[in-house]
Structure 1
Amino acid sequence: MKTKRILIIVLIVGALLLIPFIGMQFSEDVDWSGFDFLIMGILLLGTGLLIDLALRKIPDTKNRIIVSGIILAVFFLIWAELAVGIFGTPLAGS
């Protein structure tokens, strides 16, 4: 059962990474390097696994939603920082 959940998460991450890969075939506006795919794959996989862990370990539905929301918020903040540099750290992509 655990292996099945991990496989589903990995397949979803792969499907999400196909979006920019396909976009690169049709437009020069999408310009990802192998490193970009690696970093986003790590972020998506880590987010998916953390949410899965929260859903399995936290018994209360309200707390599951709160923790999952926090995990997603952190993911989106890291993604935004890497993409456009909303905080201006050295990790910023712009």
Structure 2
Amino acid sequence: MTANNNRLMIILSVAGLLLLLPLMAMQFTSEVNWTFSDFIVAGILLFGTGGLIELAIRKINKVGTRIWVILGILIVLFLIWAELAVGIFGSPFAGN
């Protein structure tokens, strides 16, 4: 049980540290201009992805299947992030 909790804390810590990067960049340059809602959406995406990966690690016993599921989760994260950033699909949620 302790190993699972340590892994979860590492995943959540990495997500939190990734959120600190744009916050720190905003202090040094005007090119990074995130609003509070940007941080909320990024937090939902990062913590949600981390939670789904942890769930996949805990629930899927077969290593090959686990790798494919985690890869799929990461691909979905990157596609959503790209759509929100630059609108690769042209949805109403696009960033452009």
Give the shorter-chain TM-score range: over 0.9
User: Unaligned regions of 5+ residues in structure 1, if any?
Assistant: none
Structure 2 partner of 1:13: 15
| Superposition deviation, residue 12 in structure 1 | 1.6
Residues 36-91 of structure 1: CA deviation (Å, up to 9, x unaligned):
00000000000000011001111111111100000000000000000000000000
Structure 1 partner of 2:59: 57
Q: RCO higher in 1 or 2 (8 Å CA, sep ≥ 6)?
A: 2
CA RMSD of aligned residues (A): 1.2
Structure 2 partner of 1:25: 27
SS of the counterpart of 2:37?
helix
Q: Give % identity.
A: 54
In structure 1, what is the Cα distance between the partners aligned to 2:50 and 2:85? 20
TM-score in terms of structure 1 length: 0.93
- The answer to which of 11-20 and 67-76 deviates more is 11-20
